[in-house]
Amino acid sequence: MSRIGKSPVTIPDGVTVEHKDGVVTVKGKLGELTQKVEDIDVKIEDNVITFERSSDKSDQKAKHGLYRALINNMIEGVTNGYTKELELVGVGYRASNQGNKLDLAVGFSHNIVIDLAPEVKVETVSEKGKNPIVKLTSHDKQLVGQVAAKIRSFRKPEPYKGKGIKFVGEQLRRKAGKSA
């Protein structure tokens, strides 16, 4: 049996969870999220959610832990939220934002302007002598990760000098340059 799927999820104060017609809705102080649930029975009793499967088929085994993790991430998101930080490493690399528009200058002949989803809040930090940092915050873990990966894809870090857009704390595999 799935070790993750077996463990119950506790619902904190201020969060409401509803299960209707195969859709789980989670509402909290930061927003509302929904997730469609198939083949798994969801039981909500006294602020505890348990997940049970009807058979030991491999697809149900896979979905058992998956749906438990997704619902747990939704509850965590509407209570605390999620944050991803990206660092722009390179000479002349800049980031600025106006509302939910992110403007990146990362070595191309033109700036990259991105309109972000209204659920994602963006903040840019530029200190003299340090690399610019882009902070993305949202209550949806999947959305904030997808937006961060999209921004990183504009200029991935290269292995020789380490220039590019990387996650804060990401370890890059560096290569040695030419040997003279």
Q: What is the pLDDT of residues 65-105, one digit of tens each?
A: 999 999 999 999 999 999 999 999 999 999 999 999 999 99
- Cα separations in angstroms, 153 against 115, 158, 177: 16, 12, 24
- pLDDT at position 3 is 83
β-bridge pairing 121-125 and 112-115: unpaired
Greater confidence (177 vs 165) lies with: 165
Which tokens hold the place of 152? 């990183």
- pLDDT at position 133 is 96
Show Cβ contacts of residue 83 under 8 Å, excluding neighbours closer than 6 positions: 135, 136, 137, 144
CA distance 77 to 167: 20
Show Cβ contacts of residue 116 under 8 Å, excluding neighbours closer than 6 positions: 100, 101, 102, 122, 136, 147
- pLDDT at position 109 is 95
The pLDDT confidence band at residue 2, using thresholds 50, 70 and 90, is low
Instruction: Tell me the average pLDDT across 10-15.
Output: 93
- pLDDT at position 5 is 87
Q: What is the pTM of this model?
A: 0.90
DSSP assigned state of 135: E
- pLDDT at position 56 is 87
Q: Are 177 and 160 in contact (CB under 8 A)?
A: yes
| pLDDT tops 60 at residue 1 | no
Percent of all residues in the chain with a pLDDT value above 90, rounded to a whole number: 87
We find that the CATH architecture of domain 3-79 is Alpha-Beta Complex (3.90)
| pLDDT tops 90 at residue 166 | yes
The mean predicted confidence, pLDDT, of the chain is 93
Fold of 82-167: Outer Surface Protein A; domain 3 (3.90.930)
Domain with CATH 3.90.930.12 in the chain: 3-79, 82-167
